[in-house]
Amino acid sequence: MPAHKPVKKAVFPVAGLGTRFLPATKAIPKEMLAVVDRPLIQYAVDEAREAGIEQMIFVTGRGKTAIVEHFDVAYELETTLAARGKDMNALEATRATPGDIITVRQQVPMGLGHAIWCARAIVGDEPFAIFLPDELMIANRNGGTGCMKQMVEAYGEVGGNLISVLEVPEEEVSSYGVIAPGRAVSPHLTEVTGLVEKPKREDAPSNKIISGRYILQPEVMRVLEGQEKGAGGEIQLTDAMARMIGTQPFHAVTFEGRRFDCGSKLGFVEATLALALEREDMGAEVRAMAQRLLE
């Protein structure tokens, strides 16, 4: 069996306005909001690097320059820290090798599918990953790996298109895209026979929701070229993927780890508390603080 073409590029759609976090996002991109001490975009890029992805494609909009600057070299800051003998390890992960990060502009907000299509020239004729940074995916402790690394390993087995999924209570399925599962390839890898965007509970084909990570073949760009509008009058990625089912292999990877919906305020607070509690440098103090507040 021929080897599958490796996944070396990833698209990060980061042009959204972040209106649910106003006024915090009036001048700061929502992807730069920090969970403890790392912005959301940093978690996503670190996950991509762990999976062996080499080129990050940011699809940005107006007012998003801070995202790119975060990964630039901060000469003044680094010089000051070095002169003061400060630990600079915290800055190491923010440095990008020249050419690792490329930006394209989504000039009009026309949906997730349109944002992905904006990166077509850079993606070219290669398979590529997609990260939704406000879906914070955290590996299990004690040796767990990130979501995209799990997906890349599954891609090595089956190729084609893959999406990450998580099981949720049935009463929550109407808030998400849901898969229609087919044959189980392994305990964590399932064929996908259909996709349904925000179905009614009684109409949902499963309780497995799409959770913000994808590996897609470049043919999806050809589908998106039609600029066909779907739910909300926007160009939906889910619609384009659904049209590819049956023409190429399509599988779902059930992520072994934790997911936090940092697109919502409640999910953001939950992620901050959960990750702070696990930190060796502050976990005990945060736990004591939480207990005092609950009293």
Looking at the domain assignment, is residue 56 inside a domain? yes
For position 52, which CATH number holds? Answer: 3.90.550.10
Helix (H, G, I), strand (E, B) or coil at 186: strand
CB 166 within 8 A of CB 259: yes
Per-residue pLDDT of the chain (295 residues; tens, 9 = 90+): 446 889 999 999 998 888 899 999 888 999 999 999 999 999 999 999 999 999 999 999 888 888 988 888 776 777 777 777 776 666 666 666 656 889 999 887 778 889 999 999 999 999 999 999 999 999 988 878 999 999 999 999 999 999 999 988 888 888 888 888 888 888 889 999 988 878 888 888 888 888 899 999 999 999 988 777 766 667 788 888 988 998 899 999 999 999 999 999 999 999 999 999 999 999 999 999 999 999 8
Would you state the pLDDT for residue 202? 85
Looking at the domain assignment, is residue 1 inside a domain? no
Q: For residue 229, what are the domain limits? A: 9-263
Would you state the pLDDT for residue 86? 73
If you ran DSSP here, which 8-state letter would residue 225 be given?
T
- Alpha helices by DSSP H, listed for 71-211, are 75-83, 89-92, 112-117, 120-123, 147-158
Q: How many domains does the chain have?
A: 1
Q: Quote the tokens at residue 63.
A: 């007012």
First to last CA, the chain: 61
The helices-and-strands tally (H runs, E runs) of the chain is: 11, 13
Closest CA to 148 of 168, 158, 160, 163: 163
Looking at the domain assignment, is residue 268 inside a domain? no
Q: Residue 24: phi, psi to the nearest 5?
A: -60, -35
Looking at the domain assignment, is residue 271 inside a domain? no
Q: Quote the tokens at residue 88.
A: 């600079």
Tokens 């998003």 correspond to 64
If you ran DSSP here, which 8-state letter would residue 245 be given?
B
Looking at the domain assignment, is residue 284 inside a domain? no
Radius of gyration of the chain (CA): 20
Looking at the domain assignment, is residue 66 inside a domain? yes
Looking at the domain assignment, is residue 273 inside a domain? no
Looking at the domain assignment, is residue 118 inside a domain? yes
Would you state the pLDDT for residue 252? 95
Prior bond of 23 cis (ω within 30°): yes
36: alpha, beta or left? (left if phi > 0; alpha if psi -120 to 50): left
